[in-house]
Amino acid sequence: MKITCIAIDDEPLAVKKISAYIQKTPFLELVAECRSAFEAMEIINNRTIQLIFIDINMPDLSGLEFVKSLADKPYIVFTTAYSEYAVEGFQVDAADYLLKPVTYSSFLKAANKVKNLIELNANRQKESIRATTNHLFVKSDYKLIRIELDDIKYIESQHEYIKIHLINSAPVMTQLSMKAIEEQLPSDRFMRVHRSYIVNLKKISVVERNRIVFDGKVYLPVSDQYKEIFQEYIDGNFV
C-alpha cells in the first residue's frame, strides 16, 4: 500500500518540485498538487489523505492556520524558506520540517520518517482490535468491549479515535484509525462511503441525494471517492 499525499504551495516551481519528489518515491502516491489551502480542502474532504507536504508561508490562509483548522489531521511535513518557523511547526505536531530549497535526500528522509510512524501506529492498532465473523473486541477506557457486528449501524472518524454507533446502546469510542477497523470488518457487510464514515450495509434503509439516512435525522454523505462502488451496491440490490 502506498501513502496517499498532496503537495500544497502557492509557488508553482516549489509545488512542482515536491510533486516530482512524491512521484519519484516508490511508497508515496501523489493525489493532487494544490496552489492554496482552500484548493486542498475539497480534496481532503473527499479523499483519504495520509500525508500533506505544505508550505507554511502562504497568502490568505497560511500552512500553519490550515493545519490547525483540520479536525482529522493527516501526517504533516512543512516546507518553508524561513527557519524561524520550525519551532511553531512542530508545536502543531508536524512529523517533519523541510527548509527550502528542498533536496531529494532531505525529502526522502522526511518521507521515510512518516512511513515508519504509519507502520508503527498500524502495529499498535492491530493489538487493540480482535475480530471474528460475528463480533469484535475493542479497547475503550482501559477495557476490552465485545461488539456484535450486527449491532453496528455506522462508524465515524473523530480525530485519532473512532466512534462506533450501535443499534440499542451508547456509542463506543476507541483509539483506532478508520483503516484499521475497515481491515477487520467483512467487506460484504460493511462499506466505506466517506473518509469519515463506514456503514453497515444491512442497516441502510433510506438513501437520499447521495446521503445515507439513519433514524430519520442522521445524514451521512457519500463522497465522490466512494460514490461509484456504493452505487454498484445499490443497483445490485434494487428491486
User: CA–CA separation, 190 vs 34, rounded Å?
Assistant: 32
| Average pLDDT over every residue of 194-215 | 92
Task: Express each pLDDT in 129-155 by its tens digit.
Answer: 766 778 988 888 878 899 999 999 999
Give the pLDDT score at 206.
Answer: 92
Largest CA distance in the chain: 62
Give the pLDDT score at 87.
Answer: 53
User: CA–CA separation, 238 vs 124, rounded Å?
Assistant: 40
pLDDT band for position 89 (cuts 50, 70, 90): low
| Average pLDDT over every residue of 89-98 | 77
| Average pLDDT over every residue of 169-194 | 91
Q: At residue 116, does pLDDT exceed 90?
A: yes
Q: Say how far residue 87 (Cα) sits from the centre of its chain.
A: 25
Grid coordinates in use for 38?
482552500
pLDDT band for position 25 (cuts 50, 70, 90): very high
Domains of the chain (ranges, CATH numbers): 3-125 (3.40.50.2300), 129-236 (2.40.50.1020)
Q: Which residues are bridge partners to 148 per DSSP?
A: 135
Q: Is the pTM of this model over 0.85?
A: no
- Strands 161-166 and 51-55 come out as unpaired
Give the pLDDT score at 31.
Answer: 96
Give the pLDDT score at 216.
Answer: 86
Instruction: Report which DSSP code applies to 151.
Output: G
Instruction: Report which DSSP code applies to 127.
Output: T
Give the pLDDT score at 88.
Answer: 59
Per the CB < 8 A criterion, the answer to whether 123 and 131 are in contact is no
Instruction: Report which DSSP code applies to 160.
Output: T
C-alpha dihedral sign at 89, 95, 101, 106: positive
Q: What integer best gives the mean pLDDT of the chain?
A: 89
